Amino acid sequence: MTIDWSLLPVAFAGGALGAALGASAAFIFTGIFVLIGVAIAAAGGGKEFIGNVAFGPLLGPHISFAGGVAAAAFAAKSGHHATGRDLGRGLAGVNRPDVLIVGGLFGVIGFVLQAAIAGTPIGPMTDSVALTVFLSAVIVRFAFGKTGLMGDRSQPGEWLAFQRDWPQVATIGAVLGLGSAFLTNIIGVAKGGDVAGFGFAATGLIFLHTGTTIPVWHHIALPAAIATAASGGNLYAGCGAGVAGAVLGELYARAFLNHGDTHIDPPAAAIATLTLALKLLF
């Protein structure tokens, strides 16, 4: 395991930033910077911006989003936030430095955990960032939640009311998976096409904040791009992986999120699982 320890303060700042902005807003900024990175790569500037900035120690979802998740759960436990599952509120507004510090600490945890996973034999076979987001949220559930890993099954709950029925899930997965597959081909992997759909999906969540019921689909876009690239540009492989991502996301929501009192991210779990499956397949 190789860790650049000099970046730990940056990871702390990234986790605290995710807490201050709110996890959802932090993830939207990740998406924006992914698209900036795709534009740079498409113009011939390489993909370093995507890896070092969008998925780096400040804005990477395993740091900023995960820090926001932890901060929301901590704020709820300490009585300063309605629920640990509410990721849409910037927690700078609660005026509690300890909430931001918890976010920062989980930014550091995410930074170290991702590096540790990436250094294991399974690291290259899965998405270590997505797996870290999931594992960090499991730690948060046990640290600050009360419902246990699987939640309180006697309490009703859902992830997305408009994206839970199986025909809707499959249709969204197929259509948007095909869209991400097309972007992968038309832009090209070397120029960032493999993350263009992910950036599109993450950035689009800004509309969810305004009340528009747009799909959550980064767990559709990324597996679709992986399958498309691995199959030599086959759009139907991307379409199928998109459906699998959509279905897995809803299954993970029903398993870990719907009945819990903190956020365990269904898309992250789906991306980590499908990345492993697709790399084993191809």
- Grade residue 156 by pLDDT with cuts at 50, 70 and 90: confident
Q: Residues near 204 by Cβ (< 8 Å), separated by ≥ 6?
A: 31, 214
Q: 216-235: string of b/e by CB count within 10 Å (b at 16+)? A: bbbbbbbbbbbbbbbbeeeb
Residue 155 is predicted with a pLDDT of 82
Residue 82 is predicted with a pLDDT of 92
**Which residue reads 């379409």 in tokens?**
239
- Residue 27 CA to residue 174 CA, distance in Å, equals 24
Residue 139 is predicted with a pLDDT of 98
pLDDT digits (tens, 9 = 90+) for 235-276: 999 999 999 999 999 999 999 999 999 999 999 999 999 999
Q: Where would I find the H helices in the chain?
A: 8-21, 23-42, 48-49, 64-77, 97-118, 128-144, 166-187, 193-204, 206-209, 218-230, 235-252, 266-281
- Grade residue 20 by pLDDT with cuts at 50, 70 and 90: very high
Residue 114 is predicted with a pLDDT of 97
Cα 239-242-246 angle, rounded to 5 deg: 145
Q: Report the percentage of the chain scoring pLDDT > 90.
A: 95
Residue 210 is predicted with a pLDDT of 86
* pLDDT at residue 2 tops 80: no
* pLDDT at residue 94 tops 80: yes
Reference 242, options 169, 147, 134; nearest CA is 169
- Average pLDDT of the residues in 209-232: 96
**Which residue reads 């492989």 in tokens?**
237
- Grade residue 197 by pLDDT with cuts at 50, 70 and 90: very high
Residue 1 is predicted with a pLDDT of 62
What does the domain layout of the chain look like in residue ranges? 5-281
- Average pLDDT of the residues in 132-138: 98
* pLDDT at residue 81 tops 90: yes
Q: Is the pTM of this model over 0.85?
A: yes
